[in-house]
Amino acid sequence: MKCSKAGQFYGKTNETVFLDGLILNDADYLHDRVDWHYHENPYFTFLLQGSVLEGNKKQVNECTSGSLLFHHWQDAHYNIGSKEFTRGFHIEIQPSWFAAFDIPPNTIEGSINIADPRIKILMYNIFKETKLADKTRQLTIDALLIETFALLSQTTETAGKRKPIWVNKVKDALHAAPENWQLMDLAKLANIHPVHLSRDFPKYFHVTLGDYIRSIKIQRALSLLPNRDLSLTDIAIHCDFADQSHFIRSFKASQQLTPLRYRKLLLKKEPR
């Protein structure tokens, strides 16, 4: 089985950024299929546009814009491309990075399809920093990645523990339609008292109910920005913001950029 060496990714590279202990790669996916392989270092794959199937020894993930996968270095996987334009962002983490911050390299093991919208937003922030090319880029990306591993550790630890039945019910309902719920209705679905739901939600989601819903909406908006057929008003409506002004304010509070400027970063390169 082929081992991909440091900095080796499949597809047409648009840009590769080399930082201390990190390799960040922006690439178009051109192959119909990439056979079983593994990478020399752990890394994240973040789909910016399009779709791809990625399989590992446990499951096959149908990845669309906004999907985020983590692979530990020894985990083999394969990819099946689609006919639509597909673009991915990769973060490869070398042993020196883990050592510099005293983070065990095996903190997260296996292949993981990450659903937490807060972690996805952190990935968008890291991508943004590679395009802004600010003098503080290394510091900012290091801090964002440390936060990413902290949140990922929380979610994997929680996933390994026995949870009340209502937790997954609420999670599925919020991801399916975050805008459609009032507290009383969500509590009824969960079959628990609304006070219990509000009080215990952070225990399992590590954030308040309101903040979790906001992160879902912002992450969904980020995943739609590369779609040139959608105006900002369309995206605001699709993500259930009150209006475009509310969308812009909420987005800027999260990303420190307006949706229009972030869209320009995402679409800096014209698709082939």
Residue 212: CB atoms within 10 A of its CB come to 21
Domain with CATH 1.10.10.60 in the chain: 165-266
Mean pLDDT of 159-166: 80
Q: Write down the pTM of the prediction.
A: 0.90
- Render 116-166 in DSSP notation, one character per residue: -HHHHHHHHHHHHHHHH--TTHHHHHHHHHHHHHHHHHHHHHHHTS---HH
| pLDDT tens sequence across 95-124 | 999 999 999 888 888 889 999 999 999 999
Mean pLDDT of 193-213: 93
CATH class of the 165-266 domain in this structure: mainly alpha
Higher pLDDT, 262 or 57: 262
Predicted confidence (pLDDT) at residue 272 exceeds the cutoff of 60: no
Tokens of residue 142, six digits: 């290091």
Question: Which pLDDT does position 263 carry in this prediction?
Answer: 94
**Rounded CA gap, 226 and 58, in Å?**
31
Pairing verdict, β 22-28 and 12-19: antiparallel
Closest CA to 106 of 77, 145, 72, 75: 72
C-alpha span between 55 and 52 (Å, rounded): 10
Residues of the chain with CATH 2.60.120.10: 2-115
Topology (CATH level 3) of domain 2-115:
Jelly Rolls (2.60.120)
Residue 105 is predicted with a pLDDT of 86
For residue 89 the two structure tokens come to 């962002």
- For 66, 74, 87, 246, the CA distances from 117, given in Å and listed in that order, are 9, 26, 20, 20
What pLDDT is recorded for position 38? 85
Amino acid at 238: H
Q: Tell me if 41 sits within 8 A of 94, measured CB to CB.
A: yes
Average pLDDT over residues 231-245: 91
CB 89 within 8 A of CB 24: yes
Find tokens 């969904």 and name the residue.
220
User: Mean pLDDT, to the nearest integer, of 207-228?
Assistant: 93
Q: Is the pLDDT of residue 271 over 60?
A: no
| pLDDT tens, residue by residue, 165-177 | 999 999 999 998 8
Q: Which tokens in the block code for residue 179? A: 């805008």
The residue among 75 and 174 whose pLDDT is bigger is 174
What are the start-end ranges of the E strands in 40-106?
43-49, 51-56, 60-64, 68-71, 77-81, 87-93
Instruction: Quote the pLDDT of residue 252.
Output: 93
What whole-number distance in Å separates Cα of residue 260 and Cα of residue 156?
34
**Both tokens assigned to 69:** 């996968």
- pLDDT of 106 reads 84
